[in-house]
Amino acid sequence: MYYTASTLNGFLADEENSLAWLFAVESDGTPELSTQLGDVGADVMGSTTYEWVLREERLLEQPGRWQELEYLGDRPTFVFTSRDLPRPDGADVRFLRGPVAAALPEIAAAAGGRDVWLLGGGDLAGQFWEAGALDEIQVSIAPATLPGGAPLLPRRIGPDALRLRRAERFGQFAHLTYDVVR
């Protein structure tokens, strides 16, 4: 499941990887993340997202903070990177590189039959799509646009492959849930 927030014109972050446009949006009525996500057994993200989380949440400076954050917790988290990156003390962070298809068995085993939450970014979501491993997209669309930045899903995927299952309103967000069909 690829679950993320996006600008109205399809960006996850601006050119400086800032989410200021997102945090400025009124989100009253947004259910608990756990309610929306369901039963997640493992998280997956790319290194830009990981480094953003480390930096913004100051996770390297605060041992134990990773586990306290609702959107991270004690689930195994897989980070795709070709580099050697730091890992916060005590966090179950596992680094992967190379084709997504080759990593799928390890991710599925860690999730233990539960869902896998792909946090981003968009190209990594595209790699999961190409590997046939993207089954659901949930996107919260913010009332904001950007001139450029990190794209939501830079692949050509047609309406034959996406089925709108649910459209909800959370404050100023339009929250759309799509099934990915093959």
Ligand X SMILES: NC(=O)c1ccc[n+]([C@@H]2O[C@H](COP(=O)([O-])OP(=O)(O)OC[C@H]3O[C@@H](n4cnc5c(N)ncnc54)[C@H](OP(=O)(O)O)[C@@H]3O)[C@@H](O)[C@H]2O)c1
Question: What is the closest distance, in whole angstroms, from the C-beta atom of residue 130 to ligand X in the complex?
Answer: 11
Cα torsion angle, 116, 117, 121, 123, sign: positive
State yes or no: residue 9 binds ligand X (CB under 6 A): no
- C-alpha 124, offset from chain centre: 9
**3-state percent helix, strand, coil for the chain, nearest multiple of 5:** 25, 30, 45
Pick between residue 111 and residue 138 the one whose CB is nearest to ligand X: 138
Alpha-carbon distances, residue 69 vs 11, 64, 132 (angstroms): 24, 9, 30
Helix and strand totals (H; E) in the chain: 6, 10
Instruction: Please choose, from the candidates 85, 165, 78, the residue with its C-alpha nearest in 3D space to the C-alpha of residue 127.
Output: 78
Single residue of 2, 52, 66, 128 touching ligand X by CB under 6 A: 52
What SS3 class is residue 96? strand
State yes or no: residue 5 binds ligand X (CB under 6 A): yes
Cα distance between residue 91 and residue 79, in whole Å: 12
Number of residues located near ligand X, criterion CB under 6 A: 27
State yes or no: residue 126 binds ligand X (CB under 6 A): no
* From 30-38, 74-82, 109-117, 164-172, span contacting ligand X (CB under 6 A): 74-82
- C-alpha 119, offset from chain centre: 1
Pick between residue 58 and residue 113 the one whose CB is nearest to ligand X: 58
Single residue of 121, 128, 134, 146 touching ligand X by CB under 6 A: 121
Single residue of 77, 127, 128, 129 touching ligand X by CB under 6 A: 127
State yes or no: residue 22 binds ligand X (CB under 6 A): yes
Cα distance between residue 131 and residue 99, in whole Å: 8
State yes or no: residue 12 binds ligand X (CB under 6 A): yes
State yes or no: residue 21 binds ligand X (CB under 6 A): no
Tell me the per-residue interface mask from 30 to 49 with ligand X, x by CB under 6 A, - otherwise: ---------------xxxxx
Q: Which residues bind ligand X (CB under 6 A)?
A: 4-5, 12-13, 17, 19, 22, 45-49, 52, 80-83, 97-98, 119-124, 127, 150
